[in-house]
Copies of this chain bind each other. A is one copy, B any other.
Amino acid sequence: MMAKTQQSSLQEYLADEVKIVDRALDEWVPAETVAPESIHRAMRYSLFAGGKRIRPILAIAAARTIGGDTTGIENAACALELIHTYSLIHDDLPALDNDDLRRGRPTCHKVFGEALAVLAGDSLLTLAFEVLSRLPGVAAERRIRLVEELSRAAGTVGGMIAGQVHDIEGERQTPTALLLESIHRAKTGALLRASVRMGAIYAGASAAELAALSQYGEHAGLAFQIVDDVLDVEESSEALGKTAGKDQAQQKITFPAVYGLERSRQMAEDEREAAHAALSVFGDRAARLRQIADFIVKRKA
């Protein structure tokens, strides 16, 4: 009974946060009536396709864990979702993963054509930094730290693009534990870690607090990727809203491919526990971050 109440309260919490994030995104992204209409339609099509908003939600929860004035944190959180969505659009292009289905709908290039999909990705990436540069009521020093944090996490040196490159090139390589880790630490790990760190920076975290939350972000990020790999094997395309079973078909280097399904599940559980442990200094203030780590491991899509 207790567990069920907690579960439903978590669902409500996540749904409420999604609404807050979506409202902020709607304000930052030009309307479909703004010229050139087509690019804004394409950006919004991919952005408002029912994403889980896990990165913005992590940023907001991390900021609230630190406490203090977190007014407007949802604006900074938008930048993370803009980066994430741009990466999905470009990843899905025929030249990359060549995927037709994303978030339960045809991919951006399927609907708007490849040219506009390339430009829509570029636009979301560019807008992410515009949003950070214009955060209302935030000191310049803090805004520029957020720009640095996000640009590094999305970049080529240990960042998201490094992971995508490894991922593409990994298809031709022997799947080893070392290669797997370097792919995933970068591909999804860097941005998830940055989500938590950006929330902490926004709220003025101390160096020690930032270090603890970075630890949490790394473990939660790794858990997220392991579970993503497992779900790709276990679930249907319908449940995932994207093409299932593609990792194996494309010979991607995944956790199940290297460790098998059962050991992968255990590893996700270990990462969840390590994420919890990193939060011990925050006591009850980190209740939401603990719940999010749990959600990351238990989700079915």
Contacts and interface: CB of A to CB of B under 8 A. Distances in A.
B95 A113 contact: yes
Contacts of A152: 130
Main secondary structure of the interface of A (DSSP, over half): helix
Given A35-B162, A126-B154, A115 B168 contact: yes
Interface residues of A, number: 54
A133 B113 contact: no
Nearest to A118: B90
A126 B36 contact: no
Copies of this chain present:
2
Given A34-B157, A118-B90, A119-B165, A144 B151 contact: no
A203 B166 CA distance: 41
A151 B133 contact: yes
A151 B122 contact: no
Interface in A159-187: 159, 161-162, 164-166, 168-169
Given A118-B118, A140-B141, A126 B125 contact: yes
B122 A95 contact: no
A197 to B, nearest CB: 14
Given A144-B133, A147-B147, A161 B90 contact: no
User: Which residue, A30, A40, A129, A155, has most C-beta atoms of chain B within 10 A?
Assistant: A129
A132 interface: yes
A118 B93 contact: yes
Given A30-B156, A144-B147, A147-B129, A162 B118 contact: no
16 contacts: A34-B157, A35-B162, A36-B166, A38-B165, A39-B161, A90-B119, A93-B114, A115-B168, A118-B118, A126-B159, A127-B156, A130-B155, A132-B147, A133-B148, A140-B144, A144-B144
